Structure 1
């Protein structure tokens, strides 16, 4: 596709395969696919998302709320094998492997929600292991949705939500088919498991898509009700329509076995349950 050139305009969004010169952008929730093939020459960015870039892991944008900065990573649409093969070590029966397509790209927080961001929004800190850059924990599924609702109300441009279980596993794997995004096995130098407490976010290396601590540190709530997979739904599954338990993913510092922090590992709990190894990571609802 040929690239068009736009000079000196105030725009709300960007468009793919376009070179902008001297333009001002007022960016809200932009679809990351619109950045494909773009070039910017002497342009400025304003709006809720006014900090963005590309790096070796892909496209990112950031927002700042009450002086707390949060980076979001663009997760491109794609197809992957969800669950685990029967030969995978430490596998559970509820991990039936099946093909899933994520048809819409989405922005996912590069880290779990920190205590400093939680405090900025909720004006309290329920965590057992205190630290601004540590994950907020001891938060229930209900608590996390209250946080999301409040931040969405205060910032009208945001449409935050919890990721679906399928979105979470797709992002965790980051194109890798092994048990972990780092390979077939892990060590405590790569993941916070078999530990004594949480550690600061970004304490360990990120995966291939720039996401930190998808394995270990704290469990992460997903939006889905827990049930066995409905393998007849292969595009954008959202889980069971009702249930007693919500899905958690990623494992935590409190598990002695690395098998419980695998990409395919599923856990569940009642939506009002809190513990010091449970946190969350939010995403933006897909725009298209």
Structure 2
């Protein structure tokens, strides 16, 4: 669904010289690196530059919370830098592009939720027509994990997080909304009944998605990569990483009904799911109030 885009390395060099792409409404450099932004109908979105590099994808056998789909660990080289949304796609951006809001927890700066993989593809097709040269797509799960880790080989981008109970991993509190904290000081009158969730980090009665950018960003300047909403990736699901490409490419399927990969954990999932290596699967028409997405710009 991605449209043709210029050579990203050339575009990046021009940006450093003060020449942004035509679709950009803002650009610059801060403590996290280089960024670009665009606007549609009053909604704005920042993309962060993710530099090339090599990493170990998947988790080691002894990582707490691990399951078999996270292995075997294997080396992946991302040879070309790419751009990635700073946050999950917000309801404001979705509504500006699609003209509706399917979310169960309506707030402009919350992630859009209840969107299927096919819905995300429809959004991408439409926004690429609206902003020629933008060329968005879903990230491959390899690029997603590389970006999520931001150079950290441990279970999260701030290091290993000890899991003390089903919904109790205090280290996650700084970076993610998950089952242990997503209802703490919940700011909507209506939410999901979380009163019977086990072993919560904080006592709460109602939970749901939370506003983006409330937790600590990664070293790449990315927010909510872990927790808040699961994020669709481009890949068709495989039960493990056997035979996975070493260049970060997506694993495709000719079957339209092929299950797709979800990453990152969410507000109503327990702590073990909120790790850089965890993988989940979903049918391309599945819609849940704990599922969203973020977009990438990747050199074809």
Scaled by the length of structure 2, the TM-score of the pair is 0.80
The Cα RMSD (Å) is: 2.0
Q: Distance in 2 between matches of 1:77 and 1:118?
A: 29
Corresponding residue of 2:37: 62
Give the drift of 1:32: 5.1
CA spacing shift, 1:44–1:146, aligned 2, 3 Å: closer
Contact 2:244 2:251 (C-alpha < 8 Å) held by counterparts: no
The structure with the largest strand share of the pair is 1
Give the drift of 1:285: 2.6
The reply on whether 1:98 has 2:70 as its aligned counterpart is no
Contact 2:53 2:79 (C-alpha < 8 Å) held by counterparts: yes
SS of alignment partner, residue 153 of structure 1 = helix
Contact 2:97 2:123 (C-alpha < 8 Å) held by counterparts: yes
Alignment equivalent of 1:160, drawn from 136, 148, 166: 136
Larger Rg belongs to: 1
The reply on whether 1:271 has 2:256 as its aligned counterpart is no
Q: Distance in 2 between matches of 1:77 and 1:44?
A: 21
SS of alignment partner, residue 62 of structure 2 = coil
SS of alignment partner, residue 188 of structure 1 = helix
Which deviates more from structure 2 when the two are superposed, residues 43-52 or residues 140-149? 43-52
Corresponding residue of 1:192: 177
Unmatched tracts of structure 2, length 5 or more: 162-170, 183-206
Corresponding residue of 1:215: 226
The residue correspondences of 1:210-249 to structure 2 (distance < 5 A) are 210-227=221-238, 228-231=240-243, 233-242=245-254, 244-249=258-263
CA deviations 1:103-133 (Å, max 9, x no partner) are 1111100000000000000000000001000
Corresponding residue of 2:295: 282
Q: Distance in 1 between matches of 2:151 and 2:143?
A: 12
Contact 2:9 2:80 (C-alpha < 8 Å) held by counterparts: no
SS of alignment partner, residue 280 of structure 2 = strand
SS of alignment partner, residue 221 of structure 1 = strand
Q: Distance in 2 between matches of 1:226 and 1:44?
A: 39
Corresponding residue of 1:254: 268
CA spacing shift, 1:49–1:169, aligned 2, 3 Å: same
CA spacing shift, 1:285–1:38, aligned 2, 3 Å: closer
Corresponding residue of 2:60: 85
CA spacing shift, 1:285–1:36, aligned 2, 3 Å: closer
- Ranked by relative contact order (alpha carbons within 8 Å, sequence separation 6 or more), the top structure is 2
Contact 1:119 1:125 (C-alpha < 8 Å) held by counterparts: yes
Contact 1:98 1:231 (C-alpha < 8 Å) held by counterparts: no
Corresponding residue of 1:4: none
Unmatched tracts of structure 1, length 5 or more: 1-27
Moved over 3 A (4+): 32-40, 43-46
